[in-house]
Amino acid sequence: MALSGIQIYKMLPQTNCKECGFPTCLAFAMKLAAKQVELSACPYVTEANKAQLAESSAPPIRLVTLTGAAGEVKAGNEVCLFRHEKTFYNKPGLFIRVKSAAGVAEADSYKVNYVGMDFSVDGFAVEADSPAAMTETVKAVRGATKRPLILLSKNPDILAAGLAALPGEKPLLCGADASNWEKVAELAKTAGAPLAVSADTIDSLADLTEKIKAKGVEDLVLDPQATHLGKSLALGTQIRRLALKNNRAVGFPLIAFPCNAADELIAASQAISKYAGFVVLSEFKPELLYALLVLRENIYTDPQKPIQVQPGIYEINSPRPESPVLITTNFSITYFAVANEVEGSGLPAWLVVTDAEGMSVLTAWAAGKFDAERIAKAIKTFNVADKVSKKRVVLPGHVAVLSGELEAELPDWEIRVGPREAVDLPAFMKTALN
């Protein structure tokens, strides 16, 4: 049961030592009650109070981690219903359902770069009809990928065979239901593996999780059975609401199977948005996977922080040593506005993206995050001088005031002031830079 801030305060040392980073123990207690800090920040909590406080300060949705031969996938630890309230933390893992190793290597090697970030599939969900088939398939899949796995079967013997082929790993066992939960729970407890629990109502799910927890299995994943998108959305939302009210019986991540839906893209998009921790897709489809990876990144990006691209030097239209060097910030919209205009014109250029903490040009300049010193540092850090024969830098027109300071920072470079708007860059490059 969650404790109030005052109840937590009564269990703290009340010395106001400030070692937790807050001016008083009461302030720390209020943050702990809101699940905005960790109990470990206070070094003086007595052992007698730690257990109760740890339970109260634990996130309402348990963190569940799948580990593979290399890498892991985490779900849970969420603390809000809507991302603007705080943020969503652990992005749902995207898994490809397979019955053999065919296509696994191709899916495993898939990687796409988006706004300076590399995206790829998170793992594979292995399905088989018999223990022997599960053993053979798991070994073949493991030969093609080291990513975490989900084992799909209602038969405990088949799940046991898959576990035996994955020594030292913690795949998700999927799954337990009212007919087999005792045997599957014992298997999960022995292996220390997380377990997915399925039922068609929230009450049935809660009943099963309480029974399985009593058997000693704490890492659970909920699989609410839904026959259509409307029911799936309702169940997912209701479970999240109950979990945030500290109903520990349903305080676990969800798993969704859009692979079984009539429209997989819509079902997967809904699952990512509302509120799956693991999403199983029918097969490797690059066009589908790319759309879902981008959607996931947008939803699980902190809305209180601007979307950024990786600072660095970007090549546009195969620039030559005599091509101009353009400067911008790492705010994604600014970057794409500049890059798209130049790329569309067919003109070659080097684009230096400076670290302005994700702010646009004028905002960063006003905040002191985009100045001559930072621009010069970026040019030196990214070894721009080694790539060009004509040292010529083009500043955004909105910060023309920096040209004099930049000349002092880069005395060997020609400093030019470009247009204020990205749409005017092609004409400027054709007329002023040639």
- Overall average pLDDT of the 95-109 stretch: 97
Residue 343: strand pairing partners: none
Q: pLDDT grade, residue 55 (50/70/90)?
A: low
Residue 113: strand pairing partners: 118
- The tokens of 301 are what? 């990006």
- Sign of the CA dihedral 353, 355, 359, 361? negative
Residue range(s) of every CATH 3.40.50.11600 domain in the chain: 312-431
Q: pLDDT grade, residue 56 (50/70/90)?
A: low
State residue 57's pLDDT score.
66
Q: pLDDT grade, residue 84 (50/70/90)?
A: confident
Residue range(s) of every CATH 1.10.15.40 domain in the chain: 5-57
State residue 433's pLDDT score.
78
**What share of the chain in percent tops pLDDT 90?**
80
- Sign of the CA dihedral 164, 168, 172, 175? positive
Q: pLDDT grade, residue 2 (50/70/90)?
A: low
- Overall average pLDDT of the 335-352 stretch: 94
Question: Is pLDDT above 80 for 4?
Answer: no
List the 349-354 sheet strands across, edge first.
312-316, 349-354, 325-329, 392-395, 414-417
Question: Which has the higher per-residue pLDDT, 37 or 91?
Answer: 91
The CATH code of domain 64-299 reads: 3.20.20.20
- Overall average pLDDT of the 88-106 stretch: 96
**What share of the chain in percent tops pLDDT 70?**
98
Question: Is pLDDT above 70 for 1?
Answer: no
State residue 99's pLDDT score.
96
User: Tell me: the pLDDT tens digits for 271-289?
Assistant: 999 999 999 999 999 999 9
Distances (CA, A) of 76 to 129, 185, 228, 369: 30, 20, 24, 35
Within 10 Å of residue 298's Cβ, how many Cβ atoms? 13
User: Tell me: the pLDDT tens digits for 177-212?
Assistant: 999 999 999 999 999 999 999 999 999 999 999 999
User: Tell me: the pLDDT tens digits for 329-341?
Assistant: 999 889 999 999 9
Alpha carbon distance 306, 301 (integer Å): 9
- Overall average pLDDT of the 52-81 stretch: 88
State residue 400's pLDDT score.
95
- The tokens of 400 are what? 């023309």
Pick the CATH number of 312-431 from 3.40.50.920, 3.40.50.11600, 3.40.50.300, 1.20.120.80: 3.40.50.11600
Question: Which has the higher per-residue pLDDT, 168 or 85?
Answer: 168
Q: Which residues contact 151 (CB under 8 A, 6 or more apart)?
A: 125, 126, 134, 138, 158, 159, 162, 163, 171, 172, 173, 174
Q: How many residues does the chain have?
A: 434
Q: pLDDT grade, residue 39 (50/70/90)?
A: confident
Q: Measure the N-to-C terminal CA separation of the chain; round to a whole number of Å.
A: 71
- Overall average pLDDT of the 301-325 stretch: 90
Question: Which has the higher per-residue pLDDT, 113 or 205?
Answer: 205
Question: Is pLDDT above 90 for 432?
Answer: no
State residue 199's pLDDT score.
97
Question: Is pLDDT above 80 for 35?
Answer: no
CATH T-level assignment (fold) for domain 5-57: 3-methyladenine DNA Glycosylase II; Chain A, domain 3 (1.10.15)
Burial (0-12, 13-18, 19+ Cβ within 10 Å), 81: middle
Within 10 Å of residue 101's Cβ, how many Cβ atoms? 19
Alpha carbon distance 220, 253 (integer Å): 8
State residue 416's pLDDT score.
95
